[in-house]
């Protein structure tokens, strides 16, 4: 079972820089739409958000830019669930040209389930937990993404004696 394909789009003119390349923030907008699509899958679509008063907030994310993406390109996001607990979901999105395996960018996200009435953190509903478990089970054979858990930094070269 492959990662879910959560979002497909072409690269819009207002997402690119003067060179016709996708700007860093718009890679994240595409991944953000992919998270919205995953929310629908978890029963947290806009209709249910209004009915249940719950949503997912982004707590933290890490993004690696691997290749340029050009104006007009057709891209898709693959999504792999990494872990979840009662209130949090850790996932990994990767960006690809449609039908192509090569990873153009990778985005690790930590999301928090919130009760919008607070807003404050709230446990997932039983229905959402069942969906999360079902997807995790389907993805159990997927390898762990190589870019998970990275720390940003410039290593100083050792001083030679």
Contact residues for a second copy, defined by CB under 8 A: 18-19, 23-26, 28-29, 31-32, 46, 57-65, 68, 83-85, 88, 90, 108-110, 116, 119, 148-154
**Would you say 6 or 99 has its CB closer to a second copy?**
6
Q: How far is the CB of 69 from a second copy (least distance, A)?
A: 12
Residue 54 tokens, joined: 């719950």
Q: Which of 46, 54, 36 is nearest to 91 (CA)?
A: 36
Q: What is the CA radius of gyration of the chain?
A: 17
Instruction: Give the residue ranges of DSSP H helices in the chain.
Output: 24-41, 46-52, 126-138
**Would you say 141 or 154 has its CB closer to a second copy?**
154
**Would you say 99 or 102 has its CB closer to a second copy?**
102
Q: Which of 12, 38, 37 is nearest to 25 (CA)?
A: 12
DSSP 83: E
Q: Are 70 and 156 in contact (CB under 8 A)?
A: no
Q: How far is the CB of 130 from a second copy (least distance, A)?
A: 19
Q: How far is the CB of 147 from a second copy (least distance, A)?
A: 9
Element of type H or E holding 65: strand 54-65
**Would you say 57 or 137 has its CB closer to a second copy?**
57
Q: Are 88 and 113 in contact (CB under 8 A)?
A: yes
Q: How far is the CB of 86 from a second copy (least distance, A)?
A: 10
**Would you say 99 or 118 has its CB closer to a second copy?**
118
Q: How far is the CB of 150 from a second copy (least distance, A)?
A: 7
């Amino acid at each position: 079972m492959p990662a879910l394909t959560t979002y497909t789009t072409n690269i819009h003119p207002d997402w690119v820089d003067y060179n016709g390349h996708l700007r860093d923030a718009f890679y994240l907008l595409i991944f953000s739409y992919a998270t919205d699509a995953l929310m629908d899958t978890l029963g947290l679509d806009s209709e249910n958000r209004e009915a249940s008063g719950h949503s997912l907030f982004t707590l933290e994310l890490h993004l690696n830019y691997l290749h340029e993406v050009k104006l007009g390109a057709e891209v898709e996001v693959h999504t792999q669930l990494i872990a979840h607990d009662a209130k949090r979901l850790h996932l990994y999105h990767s960006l690809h040209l449609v039908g192509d395996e090569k990873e153009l960018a990778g985005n690790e996200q930590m999301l928090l389930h919130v009760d919008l009435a607070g807003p404050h953190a709230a446990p997932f509903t039983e229905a959402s937990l069942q969906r999360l478990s079902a997807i995790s089970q389907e993805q159990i054979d997927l390898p762990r993404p190589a870019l998970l858990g990275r720390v940003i930094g410039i290593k100083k070269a050792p001083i030679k004696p």
